[in-house]
Amino acid sequence: MFESAEIGRCIDKDTYDAEAPALREALLEAQYELQQQGRFAVLILINGIEGAGKGETVKLLNEWMDPRLIQVNTFDQQTDEELARPSAWRYWRQLPPKGRIGVFFGNWYSQMLQGRVHKRIKNAVLDQAIDTTLGMERMLCDEGTLIFKFWFHLSKQHMKARLKALQDDPLHSWRISPLDWQQSKTYDKFVRVGERILRRTSRDYAPWYVVEGVDEYYRSLTVGRILLDGLQAALKAKSRPLPHPHAAPLTSSLGEHGLLDSLDMNQALDKDTYTEQLISEQARLSSLMRDKRMRRHSLIAVFEGNDAAGKGGAIRRVIGALDPRQYRIVPVAAPTEEERAQPYLWRFWRHIPARGKFTVFDRSWYGRVLVERVEGFCAPGDWLRAYGEINDFEEQLSEAGVVLVKFWLSIDQQTQLERFKAREQIPFKRFKITEDDWRNREKWPLYRDAVGDMVDRTSTEIAPWTLVEANDKRFARIKVLRTINEALETAFGKD
């Protein structure tokens, strides 16, 4: 969930200087339109890692927009008046009225995060708090509030550097925090709990936006653009509740440097190393599948990737040393008539393996947020809510002991072109290349955005995405096999 906010995204000063004035003007205009319409309120929740620029961003928004129409609230220690009433009272009394923007710093999410990190509450109680929160946010949306939830993120390394810089700066060194962020353990716990909360509370009507905070220019432009897009969509919408004003986050399309671009595509293996490692990883998998601890688990491997990225070849290597009675490959194409008559996830539920078994999905439920999104096969409302539904689905798998590994096989455009051409030359491969493939190629940027959003929203602790650099097929196959083996060993180790 935080992968694409740990790659050091930045924007240079020139780009920022070129874009900021127009963005600022548009935001100001949207703000006045919001006031004039008076149809809905805007609530901005600010959370995330210490030092990731939460305060600076709020300060900037106040500078950019008309501060008379923004109210910033910090919820630290409860006052006597607040302590004497139900805990939600302090938030209700500060809600922005229609036509205004409210910024909630240290909101309900901070409370539950701190509570869980400090072990004052257990997961079940955390989930109850999450449940209450979802009810509250749903109600606010139904009543005409547009909610933006920002998680400002930093990798551990970036956080440490940032804290050090702040400490050395006399203007900032006075700042304290209830958590001891100097401790590496604190960061880990905070991120783990944060991930659980984001996974369960990112809903189509109020999704989370994860923003990497290391670079001020990137951070500011990203937040500004997300706000502007959401505001403009909601201002245009005529109905209530506001119909999905939230597009997917812009992070992947902002700047040329997305998550996929951060991969080192030159990684490769020579033939001898490959052969040697292939044999040993296959043997390892075969042995793990026969391990008696496998009786408590099942294994699911999801393969997605660019066309011609080598999914088929990788799958063949994975099942190469396995007993065919243990695994099953499910190729996912257009749904059958029977499948179309059922809820979307039904056609995947029917292939969930029993304990001890292994199912390979050659393409998967992620089709909804990839091809269906890009090709417009389903309405935006459908794919927007799919992220949450998929996270719920995978959580149910995980709780039942299913080990779930998800691969995105990534190649660059040049490599794809070469493989397409090669396929057209080789008679027995010609069936593998169609008009569709050439057409999809033209939508490369759309797919890149969709993949970025997919990983941002569905790569979770319980079911992380593995991005596989697949320009070199040998490297990709070994990485896939090794990832599966490690996932199984980790699961066995936890038993």
Of 223 and 300, CB closest to a copy of itself: 300
Of 143 and 486, CB closest to a copy of itself: 143
Q: Does 144 bind a copy of itself (CB under 8 A)?
A: yes
Site for a copy of itself in 163-222 (CB under 8 A): none
Least Å from the CB of residue 196 to a copy of itself: 12
Contact residue for a copy of itself among 25, 59, 120, 125 (CB under 8 A): 125
Contact residue for a copy of itself among 1, 163, 402, 480 (CB under 8 A): 402
Q: Does 68 bind a copy of itself (CB under 8 A)?
A: no
Least Å from the CB of residue 102 to a copy of itself: 11
Binding pattern for the stretch 24-53 against a copy of itself, x by CB under 8 A and - elsewhere:
--------------x--x------------
Binding pattern for the stretch 349-388 against a copy of itself, x by CB under 8 A and - elsewhere:
xx-xxxxx-------------------------x--x--x
Of 95 and 166, CB closest to a copy of itself: 95
Q: Does 433 bind a copy of itself (CB under 8 A)?
A: no
Least Å from the CB of residue 243 to a copy of itself: 11
Least Å from the CB of residue 101 to a copy of itself: 13
Q: Does 87 bind a copy of itself (CB under 8 A)?
A: yes
**Side chain identity at residue 490, one-letter code:** T
Contact residue for a copy of itself among 397, 409, 451, 481 (CB under 8 A): 397
Contact residue for a copy of itself among 32, 346, 377, 444 (CB under 8 A): 346
> With contact defined as beta carbons under 8 Å apart, do 1 and 195 qualify?
yes
Of 22 and 400, CB closest to a copy of itself: 400
Of 290 and 355, CB closest to a copy of itself: 355
Of 36 and 396, CB closest to a copy of itself: 396
Binding residues for a copy of itself, total number by CB under 8 A: 56
**H, E, C per residue of the chain:** CCHHHCCCCCCCHHHHHHHHHHHHHHHHHHHHHHHHHCCCEEEEEEEECCCCCHHHHHHHHHHHCCHHHEEEEECCCCCHHHHCCCCCHHHHCCCCCCCCEEEEECCHHHHHHHHHHCCCCCHHHHHHHHHHHHHHHHHHHHCCEEEEEEEEECCHHHHHHHHHHHHHCCCCCCCCCCCCCCCHHHHHHHHHHHHHHHHHHCECCECEEEEECCCHHHHHHHHHHHHHHHHHHHHHCCCCCCCCCCCCCCCCCCCCCCCHHHCCCCCCCCHHHHHHHHHHHHHHHHHHHHCHHHHHCEEEEEEEECCCCCHHHHHHHHCCCCCCCCEEEEECCCCCHHHHCCCCCHHHHCCCCCCCCEEEEECCHHHHHCHHHHHCCCCHHHHHHHHHHHHHHHHHHHHCCEEEEEEEEECCHHHHHHHHHHHHHCHHHHHHCCHHHHHHHHCHHHHHHHHHHHHHHHCCCCCCEEEEECCCHHHHHHHHHHHHHHHHHHHHHHC
Q: Does 345 bind a copy of itself (CB under 8 A)?
A: yes
Near a copy of itself by CB under 8 A, which window of 66-74, 390-398, 417-425, 427-435? 390-398
Contact residue for a copy of itself among 25, 36, 67, 88 (CB under 8 A): 88
Q: Does 336 bind a copy of itself (CB under 8 A)?
A: no
Enumerate residues 6+ apart whose C-beta is below 8 A from 469.
263, 264, 265, 267, 410, 475, 476, 479
Site for a copy of itself in 297-326 (CB under 8 A): 298
Q: Binding residues for a copy of itself, per CB under 8 A?
A: 38, 41, 81, 84-89, 92-93, 95, 97-99, 122, 124-125, 127-128, 130-132, 135-136, 139-140, 142-145, 298, 338, 341-346, 349-350, 352-356, 382, 385, 388-389, 392, 396-397, 399-400, 402
